[in-house]
Amino acid sequence: MNTATTQGVQISVSIRFRSDLSDLFHNKYFFNYRIEIQNNNAFDIQLMHRDWFIFDSLEEVSFVSGDGVVGEQPILRPNQKYAYVSGCELSSEIGQMKGFYTFKRLENDSLFQVHIPQFDLIYPGKLN
């Protein structure tokens, strides 16, 4: 599990290769990633936006940006956790993702960015 803390917000990432959603003969490698966000601050925050950089060893770097995560813009009270699962399909056996979230501090509406630690997306057969 990869973990990073920025401005009192801890982000932890775990990854799982999905053989049931992948098609190795057609170069489709699907991964799920689970993100857990914990607000270690003494104030409420809201996740407003996400920005991802996706590296696929056979493709150009792609950039994904949008409001919230999985259709939500969760509010986290002090010491509260929020978790979600999403996915990424690569056309190669090896890739990486990293990015950042933009949060709003609800007491004064100021925005701040939180680093999402880089994590590897590697087809398990490649590790043998």
Q: Quick one: DSSP state of residue 1? A: -
**Dihedral angle computed from the Cα positions of residues 8, 3, 65 and 49, in that order, rounded to the nearest 10 degrees:** -20
Residue ranges per structural domain of the chain: 2-127
Query: What is the per-residue DSSP string for 58-100?
Result: TS--EEEEEESBTTB--EE-TT-EEEEEEEEEESSSEEEEEEE
Fold (topology level) of 2-127: Immunoglobulin-like (2.60.40)
Digits of tens for pLDDT over the chain (128 positions)? 899 999 999 999 999 999 999 999 999 999 999 999 999 999 999 999 999 999 999 889 999 999 999 999 999 999 999 999 999 999 999 999 999 999 999 999 999 999 999 999 999 987 66
Closest C-alpha among 90, 30, 3, 22 to residue 54: 90
